[in-house]
Chains A and B, each alone.
Chain A
Amino acid sequence: MTAAALTTRACTRRRTLRLRLRKYGAAFRVSLLSQLAYPAELWLRSVFVVVIMFIFSSLWHTTFAELGRATLGGFTLGQMLWYLALTESILLSRPRDALRIDEEVRTGQLAYQLARPYNYVLYRFVTASAERLPRFLITLVIAGAMATAFSGELSVRPASLLAGLPVLALALAIDYCFVLSISLLAFWVEDASPVLFIYDRLLMLLGGMLLPLSLFPGALATVARALPFSTIVYDPASVIVSGDGEAWALLVLRQVVTLAVALMLALLFFRYAVRRLQTNGG
């Protein structure tokens, strides 16, 4: 093969890749714009964030004051509230994409989606991320402002927040892969939402959303830290709040491994699920 032919092939590959990326980029943009088209809904959703932040701020304020301690579980009051702001933002920002996938499977709509010229898993990931992004940011801004107002100090360094972006992105990606795997269970069970419900509750409790894992009793804390839920909730939030560089590097490594396993699981489920797909009529 001549050098010219090799160059042409490389150019074609690059163009194909660019076109593919542009396709998902367009899907991301459309999904983001449709989210931003209803700003009132976005802000109305934040009412719950305000209430829960207010209640938990009062709870931790009282607890710190009654015990007369400067730190609890390694967190100062301000850090505890920022930890809460971050964990709330991670969990409350998740769109209802799982229920949509579940419904698509049950109604057979999925057959139409699969016929389209895109990778279904990637397309879903891109659109769900676009839907999650504004929700995440709005929740974090509101919850962070409340955490700062309640503690009277900005307990997170802006540099830590910036460095936390990759761990937050990885956390959301891991969460998405688990949610996708659970949604695809709809191929085997009538309704996958109960399993999703349990997953949500495990994230809230064993992930450390309600109470940091450092405040769990010994054995339970060890178990909870070993489970993948902590890579989605507790670890990203505590690393950002503490600003510990060494813990950050270890977390990124752990998250990459967890993401690889979660992605493989999701793709495996998808592969087997599609084989079970049956379409009738037009």
Chain B
Amino acid sequence: MRPWQTMRFLLQLVRLNLRAAMAYRAGFIAGVGFMALNDMMWIIFWTLFFSRFPALRGWTLDDVVTMWAVVATGFGIATGFFGNCRAEGVRVIVSGRMDYYLSLPRNVVLHYLGGSISVAAFGDILFGVLAYALAVQPAPARWPLFILLALAVAVIMLSFGLLLNSLAFWIGNSEGLGQQILNVMITFSTYPLDLFGVAVKVALFTIIPAGFTGYLPVTVLREFDPWRLGATVAFAAALLALAMRVFYAGLRRYESGSLVATQG
């Protein structure tokens, strides 16, 4: 497929998934609202925390809100539009439902990732954008940078999820394990990296790349640094390439379940 065809296919996929989710309008609004409320609760926690202890190893409330905003927006984009990068995406592989994606003349990995969406993830996006706009109140020139970094975070989250789901090609049902590792990644992404020792910091830039999704974007938004921005974007691109390579390598091991099912 040519790039423009791929993009058109992606847009159609998103449109169809959104229409399906919007069929239950009240459920959609509730899902979005409650996730935004959930994220908001953490901001209230940090507001209370910083009202008692004004600074934490140089981190202020604005920094933590910025971190939450970037991570939530990025995670929302990744799981909102590419729902199968969540741990639930493993079920498609282990139940033999990859047949559907393999039998169509479309980009397999893109079709698989976009095969489902997470309604609650749109609450993350809503929260992220509103929190950054209302609580941090950045200069207008900061917005393109925020969007770029949120997109880079989305690519990292998506790629990391794809890598974890690809484990299922080798070890079978890895949903529980993947869910736990993804939770670790998301949790570490939302706390100041300066709280941890050197060994943990190294781990957070390698095994669990939460340093690239939480820490680096905040430092770039706090004070623009082209090297750190470049490192974040480059890491996102490299991780995506690796995840796709691993996914296709795993796909060679995939065995059809000869499952007959209808795909919504």
Contact = CB atoms under 8 A, between A and B. Distances in A.
Contacts of B51: 217
A48 interface: yes
B183 A51 contact: yes
A62 B195 contact: yes
A198 B56 contact: no
Interface string B32-76: 001001100100110011011101110000000000000000000
A63 B53 contact: yes
B30 A55 contact: no
Interface of A: 41, 44, 47-48, 51-52, 55, 58-59, 62-63, 66-67, 72, 190-191, 194, 197-198, 201, 204-205, 210-211, 215-217, 220
Given A41-B176, A204-B41, 6 more contacts: A44-B177, A58-B191, A59-B56, A66-B56, A191-B27, A211-B45
Contact of A67 (B34, B53, B194): B53
B191 A59 contact: yes
A47 B180 contact: yes
Contacts of A205: 41, 44-45
28 contacts: A41-B176, A44-B177, A47-B180, A47-B183, A47-B184, A48-B184, A48-B187, A51-B184, A52-B187, A58-B191, A58-B195, A59-B191, A62-B56, A62-B194, A63-B53, A72-B52, A191-B27, A191-B30, A198-B37, A201-B37, A205-B41, A205-B44, A205-B45, A211-B48, A215-B52, A216-B48, A217-B52, A220-B48
Nearest to A215: B52
A58 B195 CA distance: 6
A188 to B, nearest CB: 15
B170 interface: no
Contacts of B195: 55, 58-59, 62
Interface of B: 26-27, 30, 34, 37-38, 41, 44-45, 48-49, 51-53, 55-57, 176-177, 180, 183-184, 187-188, 191, 194-196
Nearest to A200: B38
Contact of A48 (B48, B53, B56, B183): B183
Nearest to B26: A190
A217 B180 CA distance: 35
The dominant DSSP class at the A interface is helix
A49 to B, nearest CB: 11
Contacts of B191: 55, 58-59
A63 B41 contact: no
B171 to A, nearest CB: 14
B47 to A, nearest CB: 10
Nearest to A65: B57
B56 A55 contact: no
Contacts of A210: 45
A58 B188 CA distance: 12
A72 B53 CA distance: 10
B245 to A, nearest CB: 27
Contact of B57 (A47, A62, A211): A62
Nearest to A55: B191
A47 B196 CA distance: 18
A197 B48 CA distance: 21
Given A51-B183, A197-B38, A201-B37, A211 B49 contact: yes
Given A51-B183, A52-B187, A205-B44, A194 B34 contact: yes
Nearest to B191: A55
B41 to A, nearest CB: 5
Given A58-B195, A211-B49, A217-B51, A44 B38 contact: no
